[in-house]
Amino acid sequence: MMRRDHHDWEDPAVFERRREQMHTPLGAYPTQEMARTCDRTASPFVRSLNGIWRFHLAPSPLSVPGEFWRSEFNDRGWEDIPVPSNWQLQPGCPDKPIYTNVVYPFQPNPPFVPEANPTGCYRRAFTIPREWAGREVFLVFESVDSAFYAWVNGHLAGYSQDSRLSAEFNITGFLREGDNALAVQVMRYCDGTYLEDQDYWQMSGIQRDVYLYAKPKAHIRDFVVRTRFDAAYADAELEVNVFLSNVQHIMRDDAAFAKVAPAHQHWAPEFSRYAAEIMLYDADGGQVLAAPARASFDESTRMYGSSGERKGAARFRLPVSRPRQWSDETPYLYTLVMTLRGENGAVLDVESCRVGFRQIEIRDRQVLVNGRRMIVRGVDRHEWHPDRGRAVTDDDMRRDIIAMKRLNFNAVRTSHYPNHPRWYELCDELGLYVVDEANIETHGVGGDLSSDPAWLNAYMARATRMVLRDRNHACVCFWSLGNESGAGSHHAAMAAWIRRTDPTRPVQYESGYPGPDITDILVPMYPRIEWVRTVMEDARETRPMIMCEYSYAKGNASGNVAKYWELVEQYQSFQGGFIWDWADKAVRITLPDGRRVPGYGNDCGEQFDYETCGEDGTMVANGVVGADLDPHPGAFEIKYAQAPVTFRPHDLAAGAIRLKNHYAFRTLGHLALRWSMLEDGRVIDAGSLPAPDVQPGTSAVVEMPVKIPQHGAPGAAYHLNIDAVLGADEPWAPAGHVIAWEQFKLPVPSAVAAPRPVSCAKQSIKRGNGDITVAGDGWRVAWSERDGLLHTWQTPAGELLAQPIAAIFHRAPTDNDSMLGRPGSYYDEWRTAGVYDLRRDVEAMDSGILASGAAVVRVRTRLFGANSAQPIVNEQEFRVDSNGVITVDSTAAIPSFFATIPRVGLRCDLRAGIDKVKWYGRGPWENYPDRHAAARIGTYEAPVSAMLEHYLCPGECGGRTGTRWLELRGKGVPGLRVEGDIPFQFNALHVTPEDLRGARHVWELQPRQETTVIVDGYH
């Protein structure tokens, strides 16, 4: 049997070489004043290596250009590439992005990966400032996918795996004056790929920042900050541990390192010669401590675990009187400055960080933040930009957080890997609770690796390094052990280490039904409502529940969200959850005509057989918002359901409303109330007033200064709209931003509307030429006796119809209807039943004149699907008065053969030129029977072209429920008005259901001149 050569990238025991131990990100500040900015990029001892690098793509790590890592290598024939970036998104790159949900992009055989393993070779030059002389210099890669080697001036600086955590190398001994050469070899696949099987695009490259920083030989190597409150959550203790390092190189005995590692004199400090000093500042720059606190270093204290380095710790325990608390609602941050002083008191090194006084605990089966019940209004988020892929910028991250906050999200899960270090700083600043998730998912091989001893250290490294990097952030409230990797002994080991190292936060994990040894919280995916009730009422279960994924937001989705929030109100231990997921992960692609459009899996020219592998490339399109952060209509239903303020009727006749404050810490004094009164959807009165100072968790009655009519106009309905808006600017939204809203129908008595006047003119009714025709003064309508359909509607302005009016029982499937094309889906059920190919058979048809003088046409039709013995029976009665107004009664008897039916309605395709729609019903955004609570009744109008929702994958869309009347008009063409005895749903689009069902992408749809109108009695 041929023996396979050993490679680091195929050995789970080798995931680092010469890599520094993880620590919190460091700023290397020269002064306390600069450190107070907490801006690491401003330090003169930090230098970015982002920018344009030289790049060559090799088909395999075994075929890279020979010794390209040497300083003298000539890279003149190479391409340029921006760093950070993913090489698959660079113009003309032959290696393509691949999307997978479950399977690996190759046949799994852990720990081996294919020999066809695209490998990026990078090079760039850099210089070291003179001011850095005598300092230790570190090279940091914040994220490289998936495994890489780095060389400096031909010396191997190190090797690293884990594509979502930083890798840091001490390169002091490799540097020279003048230009230095940096070379990097990045493998697309490595054994670590088996631990990174996330539902996501598979891409590669140096995808986060690269930089150098320099420290004095004796320097602050790490620090840990914790805060604890007293029993009353009033006063607090600030615990700070500052670690001093001797920064010795990690020398190895193996031959590979002996060849490249220069001799280096170890330097060991005398800990007694150094002291640490700390000062805490408030957000206005004022000193919180009366004087700087000082402490010496304790040589016996280890930073963490055993290592080749000796590190002493200076430990502080300081009382802080009544600090302002940090929470998602009030993310108040202090600034901690830590100074290392030498024997003579000189400043040697300064570090800093923002500090939020925040305490997480589990008590009485509840997760508490600062002693109060935590409510998680969360969303799962991948790092993504449609043009830059995983290489997100500071602006991208800030825009994400602002958009989340504006939709009433207060928490985010970093699914399924640690995020950019800047993400946590922004969440601290703007106020988001964070579930920090380890970069572990083995979905494609189940839990096979999660108890395999060969992989234990790789698992442990990913969890421990995440904690060591991110533990100083107030926003991080939970540690997650990864995603969809079964439940094995490695998870128990990770959980045990985390609990011992950081007892201030719970540990969570979902996959494999883990017990308390693994997860402190129940974090199910997509639980059913009744299952949640059962668990909540089970006295044997002592853990709280927060859903790690729910309300799958793919396409036209997010129905029934409110049902989960009813449970949050009912059960104190059911504390919310995270919606899957934040944004569509569309890749912007270029069409042959030059258009730039959003694409999904199988759109990028990738050589990957999605169908054979059982993968659905459209699963990237499951965001609450689009790839450009435009909210999908379901986002408004989510925002409404999880609003921190709710309204209930108290005495509507007097305009009295009960407000409930669902904030945990804020009163409602920061809000204002805007109100308006509507008559048949039109605003007839409006005003505003300050919100009362309702305390958290309580409610109060507010009387709105609205003059409610004693008697309404005949047939009119009256509604009261209320908005709770920001009274002043917040960092994430301006004053006037709507936080919550509600609508109440007012009890205004109204006389019955007068009947529509009937013209004295007479209409005729006749049969001939296969039609039944009813005609009057300037108008004519006709039904075909062959198929029973109304096919002609002549008005003084011309023909109204482009196609006959017909009953319709199908719709284009939504993404969730099709369940990724799986058998047993609703869409599969409808196709099997023949809903899309119903055969019409006119069973009976008659006509006449009623006593009222109206003409009547009755049609009884049978519609046959796949079971000819059980047709749908549709009975329609059309009454035509002398004005040409048609009243339609349509009933359908659905046999049991059709287990479900997507809709029962009438379809009317109108002639070209109709381009405006106006309606009195729910709006303004798209809404459906299971997703309409946020859409208020009103009078709205829009271009027909605006009624198409731009879901990446076309399907049923554009619906509006609760409609009383509907008007469609155009310039110089006949219009149509539809009224209902009961509220109805409608769609009005320039595309047909067949167009929506047949297109793979929304940009493939070609708008028609005609308008397809569907009026549903059931949907």
Please list the active-site residues: 484, 549
SS3 232: coil
b/e code 986-1007 from CB counts within 10 Å (16+ = b): bbbbbbbbebbbebebbbebee
SS3 7: coil
In the chain, the amino acid numbered 606 is: E
User: In the structure encoding, which two tokens stand for residue 333, read together?
Assistant: 């941050």
Alpha carbon separation from 688 to 71, 679, 721, 740 (Å, rounded) = 70, 18, 11, 14
Report angle CA 912, 915, 919 to the nearest 5 degrees. 130
Handedness of CA 887, 893, 897, 899 (dihedral sign): positive
User: In the structure encoding, which two tokens stand for residue 459, read together?
Assistant: 């698992």
Residues 717, 729: Cα–Cα separation, whole Å? 36
All residues at 6 or more sequence positions from 412 whose CB lies less than 8 Å from its CB, including other chains: 378, 379, 380, 381, 404, 427, 432, 433, 434, 435, 578, 582
Question: Residue 76, Cα to own-chain centre: how many angstroms?
Answer: 42
3-state secondary structure 691-749: CCCCCCCCEEEEECCCCCCCCECCCCCEEEEEEEEECCCECCECCCCEEEEEEEECCCC
Residues 559, 927: Cα–Cα separation, whole Å? 9
User: In the structure encoding, which two tokens stand for residue 512, read together?
Assistant: 């494999």
Q: Which 8-state DSSP code applies to residue 1002? A: G
In DSSP terms, 148 is beta-bridged to 160, 186
Residues 96, 93: Cα–Cα separation, whole Å? 7
Residue 364: Cβ-neighbour burial (10 angstroms; 0-12, 13-18, 19+): exposed
Among candidate residues 856, 1001, 874, 983, the one with its CA nearest the CA of residue 932: 983
DSSP conformation letters of 967-985: EEE-TTS--EEEEEEEEEE
User: In the structure encoding, which two tokens stand for residue 5, read together?
Assistant: 């050569």
All residues at 6 or more sequence positions from 419 whose CB lies less than 8 Å from its CB, including other chains: 164, 383
Question: To which residue do tokens 């009295």 refer?
Answer: 656
Alpha carbon separation from 549 to 477, 617, 842 (Å, rounded) = 17, 20, 49
